[in-house]
């Protein structure tokens, strides 16, 4: 994209704005390349996209497994409802809500790997 095109963008089209995870909540970006930074108004207005992005990143980086789009949509909507109920839109809260979702078998995952660790430990003795 040319510099001229970038300077013409006023970042008003919400379809062009997305969230890149950031440890200090400044992850809002425009598709023109502009970093919009920390934007609490977008956190609230575009909360669906922020939750969906965080869920996708957790899945793609293999922290959790979301088996299909229906499961993902269900998780996003549950977390979105909790964000609105608690009036919390920060990514730490969102991640905590995702990990506490009953639709993700976090306990089963932990139990499986704890058991595998015990088996390997016994074999090494």
pLDDT digits (tens, 9 = 90+) for 83-112: 999 999 999 999 999 999 877 766 566 677
Mark whether 88 and 103 lie in a shared domain. yes
Q: Which residues contact 103 (CB under 8 A, 6 or more apart)?
A: 71, 74, 75, 78
Q: Which of 8-22, 49-63, 109-123 has the lowest average pLDDT?
A: 109-123
The pTM assigned to this predicted structure is 0.74
Mark whether 30 and 57 lie in a shared domain. no
Q: How far apart are CA 25 and CA 113, in angstroms?
A: 32
Q: How far apart are CA 46 and CA 39, in angstroms?
A: 10
Tokens of 36: 């919009």
Mark whether 25 and 69 lie in a shared domain. no
Tell me the three state secondary structure of residue 29.
strand
- Calculate the average pLDDT of the chain: 83
Name the domain count of the chain: 2
Report, as an integer, the average pLDDT of 70-80. Answer: 94
Q: How far apart are CA 72 and CA 57, in angstroms?
A: 12
Which has more pLDDT, 66 or 96? 96
Nearest in space to 96 (alpha carbons), one of 78, 70, 118? 78
């Amino acid at each position: 994209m040319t510099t001229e095109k970038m300077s013409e963008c006023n970042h008003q089209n919400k379809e062009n704005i997305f969230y890149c995870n950031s440890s200090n909540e400044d992850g809002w970006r425009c598709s023109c390349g502009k970093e919009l930074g920390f934007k609490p108004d977008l956190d609230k207005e575009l909360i669906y996209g922020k939750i969906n992005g965080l869920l996708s990143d957790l899945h793609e980086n293999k922290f959790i497994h979301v088996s299909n789009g229906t499961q993902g949509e269900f998780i996003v909507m549950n977390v979105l409802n909790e964000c609105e109920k608690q009036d919390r839109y920060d990514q730490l809260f969102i991640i905590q809500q995702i990990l506490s979702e009953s639709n993700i078998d976090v306990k089963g995952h932990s139990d499986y790997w704890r058991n595998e660790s015990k088996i390997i430990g016994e074999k090494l003795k």
